[in-house]
Chain A
């Protein structure tokens, strides 16, 4: 009995461990292999995007983003804009005089500026550094105007979290993962 033990090439614990190593290595490699068939190259990288046609401007984009100032910004599709003087996205609904005094402006941070083009048209521009993505102007524009203002995720600010925190609470499910080519859904095509 004793002699037999001495001639054994490895003890039981070592043997079991070697078997275990082979087993887990096999499992690891097999998992990797299966996953590799599911994996795609660069084109499978996804980005978070707002569908501006589904967005209801609930205001959660401003508060729910993980960044101190949301990566969601107001975008402006000039080709859709009516260039109106009385702009539903620029002025408060109850405005009396159409002047650019601060108390008349809808935007809480004054991120929208307007410039006279020609009678009776005005060009509106968003300063993205000031925009907080609250969507007040978007709501005004969508309700009373052409809907040329819309919320979209600014991709160079977006942290591209594994799961977008805003998407979890978006009431209209407007935020989705999309591929690189579709990263910006804009309204400019019109």
Chain B
């Protein structure tokens, strides 16, 4: 391409070529600051939630996170998106995972094992932004929110599918708030971000609850967390005030089975759903796996191949830029075809896996819903709880002072 159509000039005036300095990539030191701040902010949240039991500290963390991770560091790379880098590193040996992306991925997970979804509380800039604008909570019914909570898993499955096949980073493409953090972006991104933000004024954290794939991943770890947050450090008096405060439906009310069910009926139901679990998994795998060829057009080469075929079938149609470039660069159609076959082969494997994951999650959710356990007091569902700290101040037991108690 670099053709010397014109000879190099012979300068007689002693002209010197100018030295042009190009700006260096952004300082990597910021990555160290990111990780240190990530750990420090999570530490503050743990202290605020478990020791201090105060929401205002968590709000402070949210402000810092939105300002630093959001606006200053413009929200990229984030833990939510790091799932894709991890998948890419596991499936593609030529891709090396940068150490700070690994830290972004694994530190919130380890924190979730220990203390629950500390990261979601206010350290994640996406969650923090929604938390800060949330003023009112219109509650969704249990059934609706249970059904919607499958979406993050579907999102996760497709994000893994597309990352593993090197098609695209789905989570980054549909990141709702990166447009707001950068104060710019394409129209679709801004409209999606702003409407989600407006929604989160009235519904607690819609992104975290019904979209975030990383939140779904963390909920697995947090549901078995070592320490579990309690609404009050004293005894629950079952006043039911806290349940209205929770923006993410994470408080279970006490329940005693009103209709007496025999133990064997309950066990039978659980066994039925346990048997159904592999059936769901298989159905999911077959459903999504069957669509693997259609899904594979998300890959650039497959898309190009389809465009070329379309163009050949219909030569009057205006030539798309991709096809034009392909021909201009002397593209080899057979090499492309071989690549497409390779990609579709990969898709066939990963689409079945993604479908199996979706089916498994749906089956597991049904299994969990079929287990009825009795509770005597109000309890936090650690899988859903994002540790916003609202319930602390709603609980009358928490506001009782020591001297009042003495009276």
Contact = CB atoms under 8 A, between A and B. Distances in A.
A162 B84 contact: yes
Contacts of A58: 321, 325
A4 to B, nearest CB: 18
Give the residue among A27, A45, A158 with the most B Cβ atoms within 10 A.
A45
Interface stretch (A31-39, A99-107, A129-137): A31-39
Interface string A33-57: 0111011111011110000111010
Contacts of B31: 45
B12 to A, nearest CB: 6
B325 A162 contact: no
A158 B113 CA distance: 36
Interface string B31-45: 100000000000000
Nearest to A59: B321
Given A28-B110, A66-B182, A66-B184, A82 B221 contact: no
A98 interface: no
A117 interface: yes
Given A38-B90, A162-B77, A82 B11 contact: no
B96 interface: yes
Please tell me the size bucket of the interface on A. 35 or more
A173 B336 CA distance: 13
B99 A84 contact: no
Interface string A148-187: 1000001111111111010010011100000010011001
B99 A41 contact: yes
Contacts of A20: 223-224
Please tell me the size bucket of the interface on B. 35 or more
A148 B96 CA distance: 33
B6 A84 contact: yes
B56 to A, nearest CB: 30
A95 interface: no
B403 interface: no
A121 interface: yes
Interface of B: 1-9, 11-13, 15, 17-18, 20, 22-26, 28, 31, 74, 76-77, 81, 84-86, 89-90, 96-99, 101-102, 105-106, 109-110, 113, 168-169, 172-173, 178, 182, 184-185, 220-221, 223-226, 300, 321-322, 324-326, 328-329, 373
The 8 closest A-B pairs by CB, nearest first: A156-B23, A82-B6, A20-B224, A44-B96, A171-B325, A163-B169, A155-B25, A118-B13
10 contacts: A25-B113, A28-B221, A35-B102, A39-B101, A40-B99, A41-B99, A56-B329, A78-B18, A160-B76, A168-B300
Interface of A: 13, 17, 20-21, 23-25, 27-29, 31-32, 34-36, 38-42, 44-47, 52-54, 56, 58, 66-68, 75-76, 78-80, 82-84, 117-118, 121, 123, 125, 142, 144-148, 154-163, 165, 168, 171-173, 180, 183-184, 187, 190
